[in-house]
Amino acid sequence: MTEQTGIPRRSALRVGLLGTGVLASGVLGAGQAAALLRTGRPTLTHGVQSGDVGARSAIVWTRADKPSRMIVEVSRDPSFRRARRLRGPFLTPDTGGTGKLRVPALPPGTELHYRVTAEALDGRSASAPLTGRLRTAPVGRQDVRLVWSGDVAGQGWGINPEIGGMTAYAAMAGRAPDLFLHNGDTVYADGPLRETVELPDGRTWRNLVTPEKAKVAETLDDYRGQFAYNLLDENVRAFAAAVPSYVQWDDHEVVNNWYPGEILDLPQYTEKRVDVLAARALRAFHEWHPVDTRAAVDGRVYRSFGYGRHVEVFVLDMRSYKDANDADRTGHGSVLGRRQASWLVRELARSTATWKIIQADLPVGLVVPDGQHIEGVANGLPGAPGGRESELVWVLRELARRRVRNVVWLTADVHYTAAHHYSPERAAIADFDPFWEFVSGPLNAGAFGPNALDPTFGPRVEFTHAPPAANTSPMDGYQHFGELNVDGASGELTVDLRDGTGASLWATTLRPRHR
């Protein structure tokens, strides 16, 4: 069965040529049209991905090297017998050749196989197919496993074929998770790569380098090239084809430590306006990730997904609405913005899931500096909350007032792994409930840490694993991801902090509290 989705067939030619320049005036000559239709058999160049999966639908993504139409088949059977066939969007230069389709009417809690091809505009040929698999969200009390991390190809450490590429992705795949939460810094658009890096002990790190990764990103195509780069790694492609993701962004998708309205004072940038760069980066981010903009509350990044009776994930955007890093640290600051903060409290209070998982791109209590200023939430000052902490304390107080239980914060960002417990007994304020924050990263970047903890919310370090020196290379370990396992019968949540090989470094089991 073929299902028609997206653009009607009569619009195929015109839409298929968007972005090529020949439609600038809205008129296409017959010779030009014929030439484009003779572009030959398309190829899917960067694999397939799935994401923003729910109980009855999921996003499927791909990219083709020629104008073509995305075709998706879905089946319970890996042989694709009795497969549903859906006609997806046109893959055109207007989106850098990328496209994604929300596949509807799926059975909940089911492992499904999908197959993607790109059909030439003349209908005479199609790409070789690529396959993937996903599990839709359950609706009952099933077991759930998810992994999380962030920070990919940063600080000069890109794809090194000599060590097998980005091997932490293979380790995550070996855990067979239902979901991957990507906590941001999905790329380092501000961090050019060199072909070789000499290590302190005399070894040499060798990077695969593309033209876009040899400079800082400024144009839309530069940013597209940043996202394309990671998918050159076979570990990343294999993982993306096997595990659905919920993806958010942080700062390095644009430029280090950015905030809205910032004007750069960096000689390597010809475009100094961060708002211009951020708009280009966000477009490329959405083009290259299986993110459903319709699911995002404001069409950008923040959104939520239920995953069975026990889990709901709340994906934050702590980048687009923050105030300046040099703002007053003692007044009222912003990191979520009023609208997102209100949404978060409201939706957490409405949630019936046992565990409310907050997917955060910045840590709560770790001090993250920006030179002499502050990049993160914590202001680095003892005493009452100030700056961006003032917004977060409103969220925590409202959750306590509304008796919202079992909230867990997950983040990456600081390039090491840690477990933090926050309690009003140790804090500068008393009217919030204790909670856990788990930190885990990087996936393939320089390792750093540990950072200082701000005392405002009463944090206590339960575990940390950090390198002996700043910017330790992935060759020396200290790559990390985290894993959550929710027991369907009891609702208990087990947390493992793992290294880049998948070995568990520390674990704890949390029992749910009831209202």
**221 shares its domain with 196:** yes
**106 shares its domain with 192:** no
**114 shares its domain with 172:** no
pLDDT of residue 515: 66
Distance CA 200, CA 473 (A): 10
Count of the separate structural domains present in the chain:
2
Q: Is residue 515 part of a domain?
A: no
Give the model confidence (pLDDT) of 463-504 as tens digits. 999 999 999 999 999 999 999 999 999 999 999 999 999 999
Q: Is residue 401 part of a domain?
A: yes
Q: Is residue 221 part of a domain?
A: yes
**466 shares its domain with 376:** yes
- Mean pLDDT for the stretch of residues 185-201: 97
Domain region containing 51: 2-133
Q: Give me the amino acid identity at 229.
A: Y
**120 shares its domain with 158:** no
Q: Is residue 138 part of a domain?
A: no
Give the model confidence (pLDDT) of 156-165 as tens digits. 999 999 999 9
CATH classification of the domain holding 489:
3.60.21.70
Q: Is residue 139 part of a domain?
A: no
CATH classification of the domain holding 56:
2.60.40.380
On whether the pTM is more than 0.75, the answer is: yes
Among 80, 108, 133, the domain boundary falls at 133
Q: Is residue 36 part of a domain?
A: yes
**237 shares its domain with 267:** yes
**379 shares its domain with 447:** yes
- Reduced to 3 states (helix: H, G, I; strand: E, B; else coil), residue 274 is helix
Cis peptide bond N-terminal to 450, omega within 30: yes
Q: Are 464 and 449 in contact (CB under 8 A)?
A: yes
- Reduced to 3 states (helix: H, G, I; strand: E, B; else coil), residue 109 is coil
**Res 4 pLDDT > 90:** no
Tokens 């799926």 found at: 106
**193 shares its domain with 67:** no
Q: What is the b/e burial string over 174-190, where b = at least 16 CB atoms within 10 angstroms of the residue's CB?
A: ebebbbbbbbbbbbbbb
Q: Are 507 and 494 in contact (CB under 8 A)?
A: yes
Kindly state the percentage of the chain with pLDDT values over 70: 92
Neighbours of 93 (CB within 10 A): 14
40 pLDDT band, cuts 50/70/90, is confident
Distance CA 474, CA 415 (A): 11
33 pLDDT band, cuts 50/70/90, is very low
* Three-class SS of 468-479: CCCCECHHHCCC
Give the model confidence (pLDDT) of 259-271 as tens digits. 999 999 999 999 9
Kindly state the percentage of the chain with pLDDT values over 90: 91
| Cα 473–Cα 477–Cα 481 angle in degrees, nearest 5 | 110
117 pLDDT band, cuts 50/70/90, is very high
258 pLDDT band, cuts 50/70/90, is very high
**125 shares its domain with 164:** no
CA distances from residue 110 to 51, 135, 160, 175 in whole angstroms, order as listed: 15, 5, 36, 18
Q: Is residue 208 part of a domain?
A: yes
**83 shares its domain with 204:** no
**Res 426 pLDDT > 60:** yes
**182 shares its domain with 43:** no
pLDDT of residue 514: 82
Among 108, 133, 158, the domain boundary falls at 133
Sheet holding 2-4, edge to edge: 2-4, 84-91, 68-75, 111-120, 130-135
**Res 446 pLDDT > 90:** yes
**148 shares its domain with 26:** no
Among 133, 153, 185, the domain boundary falls at 133
- Reduced to 3 states (helix: H, G, I; strand: E, B; else coil), residue 281 is helix
**Res 21 pLDDT > 80:** no
